């Protein structure tokens, strides 16, 4: 059975109503990223950061998987599928995908502010100030902030090295280190890019562009692969 590896970015979740993390104005839901998505922001104003992620978590829980998420889950009927996502939502899991690696964490879990390896499932939608981990430190969202290491990169690289087919959905290939993952895919492996704005970066011939939104392009590609 072929191994298909899929790298997804903000574009796939945007169609479920979740605003993209990096926008042209440098804001996320009206907030400066420097005020809500860095370790310094947490040191300066943990209440603001906590409230911000509680609101984002509410947005995620209210959102539903879209046609692209559901189509990727269907690929499991015929292939071994690993999804590597830059997104912090759980829409891939709710669509039915069973092997999902979150490069930047997942907002439906909490994390110790003292030890990032201590994470916990969340039953509700909020983490309150005063909610502590087993070390006695404040819990925060399980999200990788700017300036923090990306602990799942090594695992993601190993997955990419095993790909027989690689699919990129809804990401500009400009967000590093995630964008560098394509360099670990074998040189003979076909690569499909599904995005309305595929960057014109002189892509090799093995790269197939599908210049559609995820909700249109991904189901088309999945139907092709399942009927191959």
CA gap 102, 52 in Å, rounded: 20
Our answer to whether residue 104 is catalytic in this structure is yes
Enter the tokens of residue 196: 């309305």
Q: Are 57 and 107 in contact (CB under 8 A)?
A: yes
Which runs of E-coded beta strand occur in the chain? 3-8, 27-28, 31-32, 80-85, 100-102, 105-112, 119-121, 139-143, 165-169, 191-194, 207-210
What interhelical angle do 67-74 and 214-227 show, nearest 10? 20
Pairing of strands 100-102, 139-143: unpaired
CA gap 25, 110 in Å, rounded: 29
State the catalytic residue, choosing from 69, 92, 102, 104. 104
Residue positions annotated with a catalytic role:
104
């Amino acid at each position: 059975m072929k191994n298909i590896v899929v790298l997804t970015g903000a574009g796939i979740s945007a169609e479920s109503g979740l605003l993209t993390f990096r926008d042209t104005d440098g804001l996320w839901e009206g907030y400066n990223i420097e005020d809500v998505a860095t370790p310094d922001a947490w040191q300066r104003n943990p209440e603001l950061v906590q409230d911000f992620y509680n609101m984002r978590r509410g947005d995620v829980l209210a959102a539903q998987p879209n046609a692209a998420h559901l189509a990727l889950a269907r690929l499991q009927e015929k292939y071994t599928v690993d999804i590597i996502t830059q997104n912090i939502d759980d829409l891939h899991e709710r669509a039915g995908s069973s092997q999902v690696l979150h490069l930047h964490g997942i907002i439906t879990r909490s994390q110790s502010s003292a030890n990032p390896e201590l994470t916990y499932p969340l039953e509700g939608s909020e983490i309150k100030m005063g909610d502590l981990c087993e070390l006695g430190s404040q819990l925060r969202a399980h999200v990788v902030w700017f300036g923090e290491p990306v602990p799942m990169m090594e695992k993601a690289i190993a997955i990419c090295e095993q790909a027989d087919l690689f699919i990129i959905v809804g990401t500009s290939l400009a967000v590093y280190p995630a964008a560098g993952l394509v360099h670990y895919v074998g040189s003979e492996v076909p690569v499909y890019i599904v995005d309305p704005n595929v960057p014109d970066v002189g892509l090799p011939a093995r790269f197939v562009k599908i210049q559609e939104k995820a909700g249109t392009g991904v189901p088309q590609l999945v139907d092709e692969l399942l009927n191959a």
